[in-house]
Amino acid sequence: MAEALTIKDEIARLEASLVPVEETLLSLALAIPNDTHPSSPLGPESAAVQLSIHGPPPIPADPARDHVAIARQLGLIDMESGAIVTGSSWYYLTNEGALLEMALVNYALSVALRHGFTPVVTPDVVRSEVARGCGFQPRDTDADPPVSQAYHIADTNQDLVLYRPAAKVVGVGHAFRAEAGARGKDTHGLYRVHQFTKVELFAVTTQEQSEQMMEDMASIQTSILSGLGLPFRILDMPTEELGASAYRKYDMEAWMPGRGSWGEVSSLSNCTDFQSRRLHIRYRRNVAQPQNLSPTTLAHTLNGTAAAIPRLIIALLENGAIFDAEGKLTGIALPDVLRPFWLGSNDRGIIHWH
């Protein structure tokens, strides 16, 4: 009897010592990145390969087309109030600026719905274990909350993973970024802010279908940007830009003449089974067979930005600014595809549809 009690105590001691070992093992396993597609370029961001270019010829770079200056002159933005109320890199969209965000959201949604995506509205936070399962690792480890707490989502797709595997869904939500003020030129105006609205595409597929699904989703993104009349290009992103979860990633960059450079307005990632393995997303290959004869298989997941609203506003303002013969700003040319989604009037006469 005494020996049995000793063994019981020893088992309890060993089990207690196993807990931190298992936690360390899980943490290390979660940090292992996905494989990479054989066609993905090797190296840093500069190694990205341009796959295609679309839209009208880019107009020359021109500092007079800076989106902040344009938006302030036309009363479309209030950066100062955002800074006073919340802090730097926060902002108010006002007047036609607010209407432009709403129109862009509904335009992008309409395109996604036409392509068979199911709309969802999600919370803006997820439990930390779900975020980690998606490949999201907090950059500020000092602020890392306990595992039971929630994170603001950095991308809407991190919450859509919780939705039933309905093949294709599109969500509208807010994305949050802690490090908005850390990238020099990228911090100007709306380009890199702490909170912004996104329309996000998410798909769950069989393993055999994910590469074709990636091309289908890229076609939707191309359709959205082409409809806006923007010059843009599609890049195959190199290995150092894939993050932990992506097997392959495309970036869509629009020409922003006020910035004098291309700027990312959309991205698309095929995560294969990286997220589904961590979140237990599986499918049955033959649903007609009895369950014991048709084992489940890990699904593949993909996510892509249908519309990153502030970046699109930058591109539309900088490409669409209208100046008179003396160089005075008189208004903004906006594409007709947004007109059905425009909720206000044009009493001030600054919007010119084309």
How many structural domains does the chain have?
Answer: 1
The residue among 265 and 5 whose pLDDT is bigger is: 265
191 has pLDDT over 70: yes
The residue among 87 and 163 whose pLDDT is bigger is: 87
Q: What is the pLDDT of residue 138?
A: 59
Q: What is the pLDDT of residue 162?
A: 36
Q: pLDDT tens, 242-291?
A: 999 999 999 999 999 999 999 999 999 999 999 999 888 888 776 666 66
67 has pLDDT over 90: yes
Q: What is the pLDDT of residue 29?
A: 81
Contacts of 5 (CB under 8 A, 6+ apart): none
Overall average pLDDT of the 104-130 stretch: 93
Report yes or no on 103 lying in a domain. Answer: yes
The Cα 169–Cα 163 span in angstroms is 9
Percent of the chain scoring above 90 in pLDDT: 65
Average pLDDT of every residue of the chain: 88
The confidence band for 13, taking pLDDT boundaries of 50, 70 and 90, is confident
The confidence band for 120, taking pLDDT boundaries of 50, 70 and 90, is very high
Report yes or no on 79 lying in a domain. Answer: yes
Which domain covers residue 124, as residue numbers? 34-353
The Cα 66–Cα 188 span in angstroms is 10
Q: What is the pLDDT of residue 228?
A: 99
Report yes or no on 246 lying in a domain. Answer: yes
145 has pLDDT over 50: no
The confidence band for 143, taking pLDDT boundaries of 50, 70 and 90, is very low
Q: What is the pLDDT of residue 295?
A: 78
The Cα 258–Cα 69 span in angstroms is 10
Q: What is the pLDDT of residue 245?
A: 94
Q: pLDDT tens, 92-104?
A: 999 999 999 999 9
Q: pLDDT tens, 277-319?
A: 988 888 877 666 666 666 788 999 999 999 999 999 999 999 9
CA angle 107, 64, 69 (to 5 degrees): 65
182 has pLDDT over 80: no
The confidence band for 15, taking pLDDT boundaries of 50, 70 and 90, is confident
The residue among 58 and 123 whose pLDDT is bigger is: 58
Report yes or no on 324 lying in a domain. Answer: yes
CATH of the domain at 202: 3.30.930.10
The confidence band for 177, taking pLDDT boundaries of 50, 70 and 90, is confident
Overall average pLDDT of the 8-23 stretch: 86
The residue among 234 and 10 whose pLDDT is bigger is: 234
Q: What is the pLDDT of residue 217?
A: 98
Q: What is the pLDDT of residue 7?
A: 85
Report yes or no on 14 lying in a domain. Answer: no
Report yes or no on 27 lying in a domain. Answer: no
Q: What is the pLDDT of residue 1?
A: 65
Overall average pLDDT of the 71-78 stretch: 97
CB 135 within 8 A of CB 161: no
146 has pLDDT over 80: no
Task: Enter the pTM of the model.
Answer: 0.86
Q: What is the pLDDT of residue 283?
A: 84
Contacts of 89 (CB under 8 A, 6+ apart): 180, 181, 187, 192, 193, 194
Report yes or no on 140 lying in a domain. Answer: yes
Strands (E), the chain: 49-54, 77-78, 92-93, 118-121, 125-127, 150-152, 168-176, 195-205, 232-236, 248-256, 261-270, 282-284, 296-298, 300-308, 321-323, 329-334, 351-353
Report yes or no on 12 lying in a domain. Answer: no
Q: What is the pLDDT of residue 327?
A: 93
The Cα 34–Cα 275 span in angstroms is 9
CB 317 within 8 A of CB 75: no
